[in-house]
């Protein structure tokens, strides 16, 4: 079994860290630190500001529901679950008419 990065958002940060170690070896610690800082800031902006707002406006789900849908989808069926979890959660919320779970 391999390492399981099933928590959305953390896998990308870990990959950036590996890239920064390569940059550290090739270009020095200052360049690696700059790249790490910029990548972490951009990743956090995407994960915490952009993605929840896009999901909320397109699927009309609360960001909390989107996060848990991604978490469960990743755990249940890996990469395929990432792509299918939010639309499935939208269908479930719509069918059950759960107004608390709908964003907006």
* Residue 3 forms part of a structural domain: no
Is 104 domain-assigned? Answer: no
The number of distinct structural domains making up the chain is: 1
Q: Which domain holds residue 52?
A: 10-96
Q: Which tens digits make up the pLDDT trace of 15-68? A: 888 889 999 999 999 999 999 888 878 877 877 777 777 777 777 788 788 888
Confirm whether 71 is domain-assigned: yes
Q: What confidence tens digit (pLDDT) does each residue in 44-59 have?
A: 787 777 777 777 777 7
Asked, for residue 50, whether it belongs to a domain, the answer is: yes
In a domain, 5, yes or no: no
Query: Two tokens at 57?
Result: 């406006």
Q: What is the pTM of this model?
A: 0.52
Has residue 1 been placed in a domain?
no
């Amino acid at each position: 079994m391999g390492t399981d990065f099933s928590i959305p958002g953390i896998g990308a940060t870990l990959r950036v860290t590996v890239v920064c170690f390569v940059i550290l070896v090739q270009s020095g610690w200052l360049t690696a630190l700059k790249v790490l800082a910029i990548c972490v800031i951009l990743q956090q902006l995407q994960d915490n500001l952009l993605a929840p707002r896009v999901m909320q406006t397109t699927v009309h789900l609360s960001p909390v529901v989107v996060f848990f849908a991604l978490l469960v989808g990743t755990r249940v069926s890996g990469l395929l679950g990432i792509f299918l979890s939010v639309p499935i959660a939208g269908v479930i919320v719509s069918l059950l008419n759960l107004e608390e779970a709908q964003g907006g």
